[in-house]
Amino acid sequence: MLVILSSCAPSTAEQLQQLQQTQNSLNSQASSNLAKIDDLHTKITKYRLEADQLQKQSNSLANDIASINKAYSNFKDPNSDSAIAVSKEQVQRTLQKVKIDEKINQYRTLANDYQAQINDLKAISQTQANQAAKISQQISELKSQVK
């Protein structure tokens, strides 16, 4: 019975090989995660810049709408052709601003989602680094036992 158990136990060389394969796998995954993080940073930068540009347009439209509201309030007859034209312009600018604000929110949400993915990948990478360090220690211990 003892002979069967000892023949089933992996040799030190096999243990070393398994540990090194696991270590290589962890290193490969960590490299892949770093590449994903870089890609996500690029996307975040792109979406935040786009949101900032759109925010400038939105702010400009807000100023235009305020001016139009002021002009509209100066009409004595809100049913005059001029007042109606100004009111239509106000509605048009407001709709334009709403569409831009929706796009801004969409871009910022995407950037925030990508940042959350980065945070997750960093946590995973830290766990992998800790595991790789433990494996490295195990490899060193096994090698010292062989000597």
At residue 144, the pLDDT reads 86
pTM above 0.85, yes or no: no
Domain map of the chain by residue range? 43-129
At residue 2, the pLDDT reads 38
At residue 147, the pLDDT reads 65
DSSP letter assigned to residue 11: P
At residue 25, the pLDDT reads 92
Query: From the CB of residue 54, how many other CB atoms can be counted at a distance below 10 Å?
Result: 20
Could you read off the pLDDT tens digit of each residue along the chain, which spans 147 residues?
334 444 555 688 888 899 999 999 998 998 899 999 999 999 999 999 999 999 999 999 999 999 999 999 999 999 999 999 999 999 999 999 999 999 999 999 999 999 999 999 999 999 998 999 999 999 898 888 876
- Distance, CA of 80 to CA of 83 (rounded, Å): 5
CB 30 within 8 A of CB 126: no
Structure-token pair, residue 44: 């975040």
Nearest Cα residue to 33 out of 130, 132, 134, 128: 128
At residue 3, the pLDDT reads 41
At residue 6, the pLDDT reads 46
